[in-house]
Amino acid sequence: MTWIAKPRLHHPSLSRNAVGYTRRDYEGKVSTLCAGCGHDSISAAIIQACWELDIEPHRVAKLSGIGCSSKTPDYFLGNSHGFNTVHGRMPSVLTGANLANRGLTYLGVSGDGDSASIGMGQFVHAIRRGVDMAYIVENNGVYGLTKGQFSATADQGSVSKRGVANSDAPIDLVGLALQLGATYVARGFSGDKTQLVPLIKGALGHRGVAILDVISPCVAFNNHAGSTKSYDYVREHNDAVNRLDVIEGRAAIAVDYAPGEAIDVVQHDGTVLRLRKLDPDYDPTDRLAAMAYVNLHQARGEVVTGLLHVDPAAADLHGHLGTVATPLNQLGVAELCPGAAALEKINAGLR
Amino acid sequence: MHPTDIRDPDYFHKVVDCQWACPAHTPVPEYIRLIAAGRHADAYMVNWRSNVFPGILGRTCDRPCEPACRRGRVEEGNGEKPEPVAICRLKRVAADLKGDVRARMPKKAARGNGRRIACIGAGPASLTVARDLAPLGYQVTVYDAEAKAGGFMRTQVPRFRLPESVIDEEVGYVLDLGVEFVGGRRIESMKALLAEGHDAVFVGCGAPRGRDLDIPGRQEAAAHIHIGIDWLASVYFGHVERVGRRVLVLGGGNTAMDCCRSARRLGGEAVTVVVRSGFDEMKASPWEKEDAMHEGIPILDYRVPLAFEHEDGRLTGMRFQRVRAEYGADGRRSLVPTGEPDELIPCDEVLVAVGQENAFPWIERDAGIEFDRWGLPVLDKDTLQSSLPHVLFGGDAAFGPKNIIWAVAHGHEAAVSIDRLLSGEDPRERPAPAVTLVSQKMGIHEWSYDNDISPEERHKVPWAPTELALRRIDLEVELGFDDATAWREAQRCLNCDVQTVFEDGKCIECDACVDICPMDCISFTANGPEDELRTRLTAPALNPTQDLYVSGPLKTARVMVKDEDVCLHCGLCAERCPTGAWDMRKFLLHTTQAGPSCRDARPEAA
């Protein structure tokens, strides 16, 4: 935890993005998490991603539940909309907000405690419905806020700081997301921003539910030998299937790869996800194959990272429900309450 | 790149830009912190050890530290224009508010060591030699043609910039160390002096001759044309009390600025400065130019003097050719006529301040001291020894006109040379400075220095009202900061001497330092050649005068690279580091001064 405020002085060459903001304009308050917390790195990656995507800060709604991870939205995007919900209830509140105003970019921030335990039901239903959001799980495998008990994502057999081995089987949020049909599923590592920032950019740009599981070592309680969520373990067992570049809807800066080494995935909004394949056999558009791959490597103790699955033609909740394109807060009384005559007409149609 | 060797004292010294730029290597951040703590006497003594004349320099220093100050780089885009910390003004605050420090000065040597040193000229260079050597038991005699010691600090710097009481006090501290001052005696012969059997002779007699301007009319109108530095001395001694109504000052250096501002105070109503080249190229310090213009003195540039116009022995004006600067293919500048008609500027009196040169008519050419073709002594640049090893030169007498702080730096070096020479050691071997590097960590979130960066812009120093200032030649114009403003200005200092020290063995590469750094100074990346590495850091390192701090290889085979250029020394990297791989350590460098610490063999204390 840091006591002094980050000085306002900045590098003289700090540049502005297309909407006129510097990266520093996307920062929030000074973090009160432990020094070295992986979550702070994820916050930094979110700041970088939003700046690079030229998203105006006030066009973002960030929602979270309870826990270390759910505190983090206070530490980035200080000029955006925010809502700290009840423990594990972030997805429902976000769903409501999204239905009311589809004009914002929705960022759900949660942790392994918030999503895989108390919020498990919320997690799966948000995916099942296809809520248009980037759902980031800051996954450290422990309850850091209550001094380091195993969380539901802790691997069986991994050892706590006190030396106790975990006897329960873990919940794999990526496996669940794939099974439930999430249309953008990725896993990153807070210690590798080169990989993480594009994954966040891709998730924010994806229309539909984008699940991003980020391994984020807890330096206070889960960064020791015997932990499977430590910096050392993840670095040693990382199996990155691809590297992602997100190219926005303007002329791409040409980076040539030999054919077969890169595939481009064009999304709804014209964004191009350019995947540089690290594993030649991995096809992220094939959901069933992805599930098999992830499960196989998980069984070997490897941490599969990268963009694991993407469906560029995804539909979202608004599409399923056929809602009006205009955010509700921009509709007038006449549209929202068309009157008795309109009701009469609807009723007549049902007779 | 190879990992940075932080044991090399120069590495961290260079990070303290102000101290590195100061010829005397005054530990600037150290004394600024002491001022902020209200410890003015301590701040004064830190200064006194390095630059000997804190009160004088706090008013007159050429301030090489300020253009170097890191604050002037990092404020870009934050203030109206980036401004360094007002280092010189803070130095003056310590001198003004210190109280009585006599008890803290070194004592006279209890007994002499039998060695006799002669110093020629009682200016800053000689006085520094005397200050360093006298407490060691050397019998130092300082000779000067004037009755009072101080040299050109006393006779040439106008009183409205430097009150005489300040000179008396600080020169007094040196003479009180048991230094013999022989005033009113001009040394006329080096040979005769050498025959007196001194163990060493230090020549610190300055560059006492002002350059003249030999153009038509010079002889005829001589009564109304004066050499600037001589005229300033005449003003000091009271020989000159008035000046003509219309005065032209020729030249663009600080002497010209002193001349025009003095003339303004002695009755000059229309005082004008005329320089050959452009305003921006003038040698005068920017603040001196500003002060002159503030007092209503126009500065006309690109005018080459052609002739003094006169009538019956009376000066009527000066004729100038209008020129402009042109740059040849080799980048060299030449002044070419613009073709406009010559300009006649009417005037009653002219002060010529177009430069100074050295003159050593009193050193016989067969005395064994070699001179180069510009008439300057041939010296060993490090030891300041001439071709006669026990005759040394320093200050303006050594390499031509510089400034007070250079003279002081030369004095310290010459004293080390003399001390080593007379101890039978080789003066060419220069002893390393004393360096300490100490962690500033006090507790989990406590640092022993104030790292909360002040966003304030540079504070202006208050001035005496212009109408009042222009009425009296001896009224000090700058009033100096009061204690409260000094504290706020001191808070702008970035504590560059509190260094970021990185231990690669402790790093877990969590990125916390990279994320929190407000200046994007820190990167973890693959190693490479410096030029290439500079381009792919978090923020490109475009200032090649500032070093990259490179660690050894980390677990991921990457290295930590820190660009020292715009680091605020806020310590957030160390604050955020979970393993203590980063630490904030205070670097204190004291240059070696004469005495036991500068010698190889350390004899028992006398």
Contact: B578, A40; criterion CB under 8 Å: no
- Between the alpha carbon of residue B384 and those of residues B334, B344, B387, the distances in Å are 35, 47, 10
Contact: A34, B509; criterion CB under 8 Å: no
CA distance A214 to A190: 6
Substitution target in B71, B507, B508, B584 with the highest count of A β-carbons within 10 Å is: B508
DSSP B441: B
Among candidates B74, B508, B575 on the partner chain, residue whose Cβ is nearest the Cβ of A2: B575
Q: At A248, which amino acid appears?
A: E
pLDDT at B600: 87
| Min distance B577 CA to chain A CA atoms (Å) | 6
Among candidates A11, A24, A41 on the partner chain, residue whose Cβ is nearest the Cβ of B510: A41
Among candidates B511, B516, B572 on the partner chain, residue whose Cβ is nearest the Cβ of A193: B511
CA distance A177 to A320: 19
Q: Is the pLDDT of residue B63 over 50?
A: yes
DSSP A27: B
Q: Enumerate the residues of chain A whose CB falls inside 8 A of the CB of residue B515.
A: 40-41, 43-44
Share of chain A above pLDDT 70, in %: 96
* Chain B contact present for A3, CB below 8 A: yes
| Min distance B518 CA to chain A CA atoms (Å) | 6
* Chain B contact present for A231, CB below 8 A: yes
B115-172 tens-digit pLDDT:
999 999 999 999 999 999 999 999 999 999 999 999 999 999 999 999 999 999 999 9
Please, what sign has the CA dihedral across residues B402, B407, B409, B415?
positive
Nearest CA in chain B to A193: B511
Nearest CA in chain B to A45: B515
Share of chain A above pLDDT 90, in %: 78
CB-based burial label for B21 (10 Å; 0-12, 13-18, 19+): middle
Kindly state the average pLDDT of the residues B474-479: 93
* Chain B contact present for A191, CB below 8 A: yes
Torsion of the alpha carbons at B217, B219, B222 and B226, rounded to the nearest 10: 90
CB-based burial label for A248 (10 Å; 0-12, 13-18, 19+): middle
Q: Is the pLDDT of residue B316 over 70?
A: yes
Cβ distance B59 to B4 under 8 Å?
no
Contact: A11, B511; criterion CB under 8 Å: no
Confidence of residue A350 (pLDDT cuts 50, 70, 90): very high
Closest CA to B223 of B112, B321, B312: B312
Kindly state the average pLDDT of the residues A5-16: 89
Tell me the Ramachandran region of residue B443: left when phi exceeds 0, alpha when psi lies from -120 to 50, beta otherwise: beta
Share of chain B above pLDDT 90, in %: 90
Among candidates B451, B520, B572 on the partner chain, residue whose Cβ is nearest the Cβ of A11: B520
Tokens of B119: 């110093």
Indicate the length of chain B as a whole number: 606
Q: Enumerate the residues of chain A whose CB falls inside 8 A of the CB of residue B452.
A: 4-5, 7
- Give the DSSP H/E element, type plus range, for residue A142: strand A142-143
pLDDT at A261: 67
CA distance A217 to A224: 10
A238-273 tens-digit pLDDT:
988 888 888 776 554 454 445 456 778 887 777 788
Three-state secondary structure readout of B259-320 = HHHHHHHCCCCEEEEECCCCHHHCCCCHHHHHHHHHCCCCEECCEEEEEEEEECCEEEEEEE
Cβ distance B234 to B240 under 8 Å?
yes
Contact: B510, A217; criterion CB under 8 Å: yes
* CA A130, chain centre distance (Å): 14
Q: Is the pLDDT of residue B443 over 90?
A: no
Q: Mean pLDDT check: name the lowest of A173-182, A280-289, B291-300.
A: A280-289
Q: Which residue has the tokens 């004729």?
A: B319
Kindly state the average pLDDT of the residues B373-397: 95
CA distance B560 to B548: 10
Q: Is the pLDDT of residue B77 over 70?
A: no
Among candidates A12, A43, A235 on the partner chain, residue whose Cβ is nearest the Cβ of B76: A12
pLDDT at A272: 80
Q: Is the pLDDT of residue B452 over 50?
A: yes
Contact: A36, B578; criterion CB under 8 Å: yes
Q: Is the pLDDT of residue B45 over 90?
A: yes
Q: Is the pLDDT of residue B606 over 50?
A: no
Nearest CA in chain A to B556: A235
* Chain B contact present for A225, CB below 8 A: no
Among candidates A11, A43, A190 on the partner chain, residue whose Cβ is nearest the Cβ of B519: A11
Q: At B141, which amino acid appears?
A: T
pLDDT at B605: 47
Q: Enumerate the residues of chain A whose CB falls inside 8 A of the CB of residue B568.
A: 7, 9
At B462 the three-state DSSP class reads: coil
Q: How many CB atoms lie within 10 A of CB A32?
A: 14
Q: Is the pLDDT of residue B604 over 60?
A: no
CA distance B401 to B353: 13
Find the radius of gyration of the CA atoms of chain B: 26
Q: Enumerate the residues of chain B whose CB falls inside 8 A of the CB of residue A219.
A: 508, 510, 578
Kindly state the average pLDDT of the residues B401-426: 96
Tokens of B353: 């301040």
Among candidates B77, B510, B518 on the partner chain, residue whose Cβ is nearest the Cβ of A191: B510
Mean pLDDT of chain A: 91
Among candidates B509, B566, B577 on the partner chain, residue whose Cβ is nearest the Cβ of A11: B566
Tokens of B280: 């921006």
Contact: B515, A41; criterion CB under 8 Å: yes
Substitution target in A1, A3, A4, A230 with the highest count of B β-carbons within 10 Å is: A4
Q: Enumerate the residues of chain A whose CB falls inside 8 A of the CB of residue B539.
A: 11, 13-14
| Min distance B80 CA to chain A CA atoms (Å) | 13
Nearest CA in chain A to B510: A191
pTM of structure? 0.90
Mean pLDDT of chain B: 94
Cβ distance A268 to A202 under 8 Å?
no
Closest CA to A36 of B442, B573, B518: B573
CA distance B479 to B93: 10
Among candidates B445, B516, B518 on the partner chain, residue whose Cβ is nearest the Cβ of A3: B445
| Min distance B580 CA to chain A CA atoms (Å) | 10
Contact: B509, A231; criterion CB under 8 Å: yes
* Chain B contact present for A14, CB below 8 A: yes
- Give the DSSP H/E element, type plus range, for residue A307: strand A303-310
pLDDT at A64: 98
Closest CA to B520 of B568, B576, B454: B568
Contact: B556, A35; criterion CB under 8 Å: no
Pairing label, strands B349-352, A242-247: unpaired
Contact: A41, B512; criterion CB under 8 Å: yes
pLDDT at A263: 77
Q: ∠B59-B62-B65 over CA atoms, to 5°?
A: 105
Pairing label, strands A272-277, A262-266: antiparallel
At A60 the three-state DSSP class reads: strand
CA distance A302 to B300: 77
CB-based burial label for B1 (10 Å; 0-12, 13-18, 19+): middle
Kindly state the average pLDDT of the residues B402-430: 96
Kindly state the average pLDDT of the residues A311-315: 89
Among candidates B74, B566, B578 on the partner chain, residue whose Cβ is nearest the Cβ of A35: B578
Substitution target in B449, B515, B555, B560 with the highest count of A β-carbons within 10 Å is: B515
| Min distance A235 CA to chain B CA atoms (Å) | 8
- Between the alpha carbon of residue A251 and those of residues A248, A255, A274, B74, B431, the distances in Å are 8, 12, 14, 34, 61
Q: Mean pLDDT check: name the lowest of A269-273, B170-174, B198-202, B215-219.
A: A269-273
Cβ distance B309 to B343 under 8 Å?
no
Q: Mean pLDDT check: name the lowest of A23-32, A191-200, A242-251, B377-386.
A: A242-251
Rounded to whole angstroms, the maximal C-alpha distance in chain B is 88
| Min distance B498 CA to chain A CA atoms (Å) | 17
Q: Enumerate the residues of chain B whose CB falls inside 8 A of the CB of residue A193.
A: 511
| Min distance B76 CA to chain A CA atoms (Å) | 6
Chain B positions contacting chain A at CB under 8 Å are: 73-78, 445, 451-453, 455, 508-512, 514-516, 518-521, 539-540, 542, 555-556, 566, 568, 570, 572, 575-579
Give, to the nearest 10 degrees, the angle between helix B254-265 and helix B286-294. 20
Q: Is the pLDDT of residue A82 over 80?
A: yes
Which residues in B110-159 belong to E strands, given as ranges?
Answer: 116-120, 139-143
Tokens of A235: 């670095």
Confidence of residue B603 (pLDDT cuts 50, 70, 90): low
